[in-house]
Amino acid sequence: MAEANAIEVAGLSKSFDGKLAVDGFSIAVERGRIFGFLGPNGSGKTTTIRMLCGLLRPDAGSGRCLGFDILRESAEIKRRVGYMTQRFSLYEDLSIRENLDFIARVYAVGARKRAVEQALERLGLTRRRDQLAGQLSGGWKQRLALAACLLHDPQLLLLDEPTAGVDPKARRDFWESIHDLAAGGMTVLVSTHYMDEAERCHRLAYISYGKLLVQGTAEEVVRASGLVTWEVRGESCSAIAIELRGRPGVEIVVPFGTALHVSGTDAALLEMALAPYRDVPALRVQRIESGLEDVFVQLMQRAPEAVR
């Protein structure tokens, strides 16, 4: 595997009870990068991430993670991975410090007490060290879970929808920590449904029904979609949305407050569909840049057809 790549896999497939969850997945992830995985629920994101890191054995395919073979050397990979699940999984009747000390014992961390103190300081938990985990808000639980993941100094961090259920400030603080870790050389794989978080990733992969549909930077993903988007803004947008759906050239109509994002890949047909509304005084109709969320909706709509 090339020095620059933390992960390089080809043809990964996995089935559960005869149902194909991941189908021929191939990807390379550079070291020190944040790689985001997008896709609807049940699309195979978590299964894919776990196979990439040797945490789940694929039925077919091969590859390397952190220089180790994902099939033959998974134990070596696991020692170098920090895994943060979506659901808080630490002990709520233990304090922050006690939880971290327990995890440090599990990983047989050397200089355990110092490692715990460093983890408390790194995530801003020192002043709350004696607070019970069960008394923490979602954002503070998130910080504790991340601190626990980092105790054994992993080279690779796996985050499974890590900011579900936390407030915007906690999400922002969390992502600042993740970027600091990546800047220090750590590789991060993260699954998310939040488009603003996806845009914070260095690269993205969109998975649906176990297949990789598109990958690249956020800008590359938007550009590759070929999507053209117009904004219709006004008080009567709900009725307009109903009128527009199904018209030639209109592939997507998504409400955004008092506005609509109307998108399609045939620019001429789309403009013709919107022409009757451009002269309505109460409406403002203008072409805008397509966003990652517009592309996400497009991919969700096309996915069943794309993976048959």
CATH number of 5-222: 3.40.50.300
Contacts of 172 (CB under 8 A, 6+ apart): none
Q: How far is CA 89 from the centre of its chain?
A: 20
| Residue 123 in tokens | 């995530």
**With 80 as the cut, is the pLDDT of residue 100 above it?**
yes
Indicate the fold that domain 228-289 takes in CATH: Alpha-Beta Plaits (3.30.70)
pLDDT of residue 202: 96
**CA-based Rg of the chain, rounded to a whole angstrom?**
22
Residue pLDDT, tens place only, 269-297: 999 999 999 989 889 999 999 999 899 88
Residue 2: band (very low, low, confident or very high) from pLDDT cuts 50, 70, 90: very low
Closest CA to 81 of 197, 188, 201: 188
SS (H, E, C) 3-32: CCEEEEEEEEEEEECCEEEEEEEEEEEECC
Helix ranges restricted to H, the chain: 45-52, 74-78, 96-106, 112-122, 138-150, 168-183, 195-198, 218-225, 237-244, 267-274, 292-306
pLDDT of residue 37: 93
**Burial track 125-138 (b if 16+ CB lie within 10 A, e otherwise):** beebeeeebeebee
Residue pLDDT, tens place only, 44-79: 888 998 898 888 999 999 999 999 999 999 999 998
Residue 104: band (very low, low, confident or very high) from pLDDT cuts 50, 70, 90: very high
Q: How far apart are the first and last CA of the chain?
A: 32
Nearest-angstrom CA–CA distance, 205 and 158: 15
pLDDT of residue 138: 86
pLDDT of residue 120: 93
**With 90 as the cut, is the pLDDT of residue 88 above it?**
no
Residue pLDDT, tens place only, 189-231: 999 888 888 999 999 999 988 889 999 999 999 999 999 999 9
Contacts of 5 (CB under 8 A, 6+ apart): 28, 29, 30, 31
**With 80 as the cut, is the pLDDT of residue 111 above it?**
yes
> Looking at residues 227-253, what average pLDDT do you find?
92
Residue 307: band (very low, low, confident or very high) from pLDDT cuts 50, 70, 90: very low
Question: What are the residue ranges of CATH 3.30.70.920 in the chain?
Answer: 228-289
Quick one: CA torsion of 171, 175, 177, 180, rounded to 10 degrees?
A: -170
Residue 4: band (very low, low, confident or very high) from pLDDT cuts 50, 70, 90: confident
pLDDT of residue 74: 92
Give phi and psi for 240, each to the nearest 5: -65, -40
Nearest-angstrom CA–CA distance, 106 and 86: 21
pLDDT of residue 305: 46
Question: What are the residue ranges of CATH 3.40.50.300 in the chain?
Answer: 5-222
Residue 304: band (very low, low, confident or very high) from pLDDT cuts 50, 70, 90: low
